[in-house]
Amino acid sequence: PPRGAPSSAISITAMARLPLLLLPMLTLAVQGQPPYPLYKQCDSAWGDDIMVTKTICSVGCLMSSVSDGLGGYNISIPAADGSYVEANPGTLNKWLQLNDGYDDSDDLIESVVPQIDPGRITWPEDGMYKTKDGLTYELILQWIEAGRVVIANVLEGHHFVLSVGGSEDGDTIEVHDPGFDTANYSYTDDVVGFRIFDMS
């Protein structure tokens, strides 16, 4: 299924009933990251906007998480009229549509994103992790603390969230979840991969 889309086995309705993971914990301070906004993919301002064949609300979790990263770094989106607009899922979606930023299955083409502002955005060689092979929880926290835009792939690969912190428990990743009111996920049990961008 498209990245960010629920499979037939896991519906949006079923996922929405998942309990909030509000564990008592001491959150680790994050030094190098900016204050990221939290954009919801189903916001009425853009939730019904079509990406390719489906709406942002349906499958726009990865793109919405990228827009959180852009917003945190105050990176504006070039508009069609030559002006610049604030990054959010609506403006990023329009830009991606005009710049071949999606494939035919509504999947974001990550390598296109740096074209928004090549001097400030990089899709690095280590940007795509379809599994956690070679990764550790400690490394992910180092990247978050260094200010990398670390987007976790969760819910058996059907959803994306922006990682914003960790915990002394050695497993919890605090997130900005564009689709659900979930504050954190388990690195061990919930995360299956990552997308990483470098922004400045």
DSSP 13-24: HHHHTSPP----
Q: Quote the CA–CA distance of 99 and 42 in Å, as a whole number.
A: 23
Mean pLDDT on 139-154: 97
Instruction: Please give the residue that has the higher pLDDT: either 10 or 54.
Output: 54
- pLDDT tens sequence across 28-40: 445 578 999 999 9
Which one-letter DSSP state was computed for residue 187?
T
Q: Quote the CA–CA distance of 173 and 183 in Å, as a whole number.
A: 9
Q: Quote the CA–CA distance of 104 and 181 in Å, as a whole number.
A: 29
What percent of the chain stands above pLDDT 70?
84
Helices and strands, counts by H and E, the chain: 5, 9
Q: Quote the CA–CA distance of 60 and 47 in Å, as a whole number.
A: 9
Q: Quote the CA–CA distance of 97 and 51 in Å, as a whole number.
A: 7
Q: Is the pLDDT of residue 110 over 50?
A: yes
Q: How confident is the model at residue 25 (pLDDT cuts 50, 70, 90)?
A: very low
Mean pLDDT on 143-161: 97
Q: Is 116:75 a contact under the CB 8 Å cutoff?
A: yes
